A and B are shown apart, each in its own frame.
Chain A
Amino acid sequence: DAGVIQSPRHEVTEMGQEVTLRCKPISGHDYLFWYRQTMMRGLELLIYFNNNVPIDDSGMPEDRFSAKMPNASFSTLKIQPSEPRDSAVYFCASNPGGAGYQPQHFGDGTRLSIL
């Protein structure tokens, strides 16, 4: 099992540019999550999907942020236009659905720096 795969691992871009972060969840997992981590605020949920459908996007900070999940094996988080305050580590996580309490499996994140 390759785990949750995120790309790129690092992204440095200038303010105003479009940024696209990518995620491949673990095969068979019904839920996919996007988180943002900063020193000040820790991990914050941005949005999550169930069976490719967005369920809760109340954590998306602004309209500049958008996320899609076109199929069960791929999701993107897009920021357009980017701003310096968007600099953070963005994590994707997935877990299987169903009964019980399932651990979330995180990718290793994309470290985003907006200059």
Chain B
Amino acid sequence: KNQVEQSPQSLIILEGKNCTLQCNYTVSPFSNLRWYKQDTGRGPVSLTIMTFSENTKSNGRYTATLDADTKQSSLHITASQLSDSASYICVVSGSSGTYKYIFGTGTRLKVLA
């Protein structure tokens, strides 16, 4: 069964600290993996998109990595800010040309001052 699992479910860190969120998937075949940020009460916003041939992609303080062999991805947040408090959702597309994305249930991050 195609699945996307994220860990941890929730995380609390202090402002200025770094953190890493994990995503493991069993989706096959694999086309691309996306990370979204979802603020409370808002829709998800795309952070990064990676294909199987890419193993790292950055968007400001956000850096995503992908290991297509082990089917793992991580999202690293550097020098966290209060505005980083949100849910981070990992999404996997199973094959090129399809829009049936498989969504993880997200990691809820809280950054404290």
For chain A, give the interface size range.
20 to 34
A115 at the interface (CB under 8 A from B): no
Q: Which residues of A contact B (CB under 8 A)?
A: 4, 31, 33, 41-45, 48, 55-56, 91, 93, 101, 103-109
Residues of the B chain whose Cβ atoms lie less than 8 Å from the Cβ of A107? 43
> With contacts defined as CB atoms under 8 Å apart, how many contacts are there between chain A and chain B in the complex?
43
Given known contacts A42-B104, A101-B49, A101-B51, is B43 in contact with A33 (CB within 8 Å)?
A: no
Max chain A C-beta neighbours (<10 A), residue from B43, B46, B106: B43
Given known contacts A4-B43, A108-B42, is B99 in contact with A48 (CB within 8 Å)?
A: yes
* A–B Cβ pairs within 8 angstroms, 13 of them: A4-B43, A33-B99, A41-B105, A43-B44, A43-B89, A43-B103, A56-B100, A101-B31, A101-B51, A103-B49, A104-B44, A107-B43, A109-B42
Q: CB distance A42 to B46 under 8 Å?
A: no
Residues of the B chain whose Cβ atoms lie less than 8 Å from the Cβ of A91? 43-44
The distance in angstroms between the C-alpha atoms of A4 and B44, with both chains bound, is 12
A103 (CB) vs chain B CBs: closest residue: B46
> What is the minimal beta-carbon distance from B102 to any residue of chain A, in angstroms?
9
Q: Which residues of B contact A (CB under 8 A)?
A: 31-32, 34, 41-46, 49, 51, 89, 99-101, 103-106
B4 (CB) vs chain A CBs: closest residue: A42
Residues of the B chain whose Cβ atoms lie less than 8 Å from the Cβ of A48? 99
Q: A-B pairs with the 3 shortest C-beta distances?
A: A106-B43, A103-B46, A42-B105
Q: CB distance B43 to A93 under 8 Å?
A: yes
Residues of the A chain whose Cβ atoms lie less than 8 Å from the Cβ of B44? 43, 91, 104, 106
Q: CB distance B99 to A31 under 8 Å?
A: yes
Q: CB distance A44 to B103 under 8 Å?
A: yes
Residues of the A chain whose Cβ atoms lie less than 8 Å from the Cβ of B103? 42-44
> What is the minimal beta-carbon distance from A93 to any residue of chain B, in angstroms?
7
Q: CB distance B45 to A45 under 8 Å?
A: no
The distance in angstroms between the C-alpha atoms of A4 and B45, with both chains bound, is 12
